[in-house]
Amino acid sequence: MTNTQANNPLHGVTLERLLTELVDYYGWHQLGRRVNIRCFTHEPSIASSLKFLRRTPWAREQVEQLYVDMLRGR
């Protein structure tokens, strides 16, 4: 059986881990500038951001893309 997720950098990464790594790397202020959503710019927290991202596919896609870009060193 082949591993179909070998080239997927998001495989096995939870949303919480992804968000935590982005916050560690960029900080809330810079993260809010890169992905302009209120949960990053006004009283940000991991819990409120996770709740919003789980309900909002377009925002989650932007955050996942930023994570992939961060991994690739952009």
Q: What is the CATH number of the domain that holds 39?
A: 1.10.720.30
Nearest to 70 by CA among 23, 1, 38, 33: 23
How many domains in the chain? 1
Distance CA(67)–CA(24), nearest Å, equals 12
Determine the residue type at 17.
Answer: R
pLDDT value of position 33: 95
Placement of tokens 């080239």 in the chain: 7
pLDDT value of position 9: 85
Residue 48 is part of which domain span?
26-71
What are the mean pLDDT values of the chain's consecutive 10-residue runs (74 residues total)? 69 93 96 94 95 96 94 84
**Hey, how many other C-beta atoms are within 10 angstroms of the C-beta on 10?**
14
Does residue 14 lie in a domain region?
no
Does residue 2 lie in a domain region?
no
Residue 7 token pair? 């080239």
Residue 31 token pair? 């993260």
